[in-house]
Structure 1
């Protein structure tokens, strides 16, 4: 009987450790998605044309794809903040599997939303950097340097959030497989 309790105690402590890592990863993902949304949402650059009075301006909301990126990152960030409560619940009671199943499903949905937003924005950022000579789309990053740097940085944070979601889903699956 003592070995059974020892094995059960070891499994509970392993699940508790996974729950603590889950909580930490959620905090990191909150920062990554929030910083990405803020960086993209505040991206703007103005270039003078011939005179001071005529200017060209590039803003994130000029492209609906970037607006979708900001909304997707904001929704995922809000979800992550709300999911911290379930993550804390798992730290306290690591033996209950039902809320973890809900987290896996919702994490997968949020990862899909974040991937869609980041992938769509990545396509536009690629066009901004490289252009497309076949369709006469010119690379604008030579003129709008700051704009392109900020959008690229926002993408890095968002793709970092996707990697963290993959880790969260794998950890939750591992914890469920131990039950």
Structure 2
């Protein structure tokens, strides 16, 4: 009997190593996603451009906070970045204790909530960016990107970082599910 339990203990060692590897990948992906959301929030939050109209005294200014979708985008990316930084604590805990299941379930739930928040913010902002680039002639909305090039480049780039974070959150959820199934 003891010999059988020793063999099981030795057989569980590679499984524990794979789960630890998943935990290390989880930690790395959380850092990358936090950097992506922080960069997206900063890029969008500092976006503005001023153009002269007829004289130097009359100017048109485009700022991110002129549109509520962009404000929501900055706030959502900031919240998700804060969450990802705080979740690094649990990620380190999972590296040390690879058999922890309850905290992984908690992370799956919270990651899913953050995924929904970030997807909603990125999607709302993507629709505004599309209208800024192409306009909508039926609604008499003109494309502003022909005049505000720098503004449009920055808001488009901030969307890329946010969608990278969305993809990483999906991967994080799948990693947690695989780690739970291996226990």
Distance in 1, matches of 2:22 and 2:11, equals 17
1:55 counterpart (54, 59, 67): 59
1:105 counterpart (99, 106, 109): 109
Query: How many residues align structurally?
Result: 179
Distance in 2, matches of 1:25 and 1:3, equals 34
1:129 counterpart (133, 148, 163): 133
Equivalent runs, 1:13-32 vs 2, <5 Å: 13-32=17-36
2:9 alignment counterpart: 5
Distance in 1, matches of 2:131 and 2:68, equals 15
| 1:7 Cα deviation from its structure 2 partner | 2.0
Distance in 1, matches of 2:167 and 2:41, equals 17
SS in 1 for 2:60: strand
| 1:72 Cα deviation from its structure 2 partner | 0.2
Distance in 2, matches of 1:8 and 1:144, equals 60
Equivalent runs, 1:73-88 vs 2, <5 Å: 73-88=77-92
Gaps spanning 5+ residues in structure 2: where? none
Distance in 2, matches of 1:166 and 1:16, equals 19
Over the aligned positions, Cα root-mean-square deviation in angstroms equals 0.6
Q: Which runs of 4+ in 1 moved over 6 A?
A: none
**Structure number with larger C-alpha Rg:** 2
1:43 alignment counterpart: 47
Distance in 2, matches of 1:106 and 1:56, equals 42
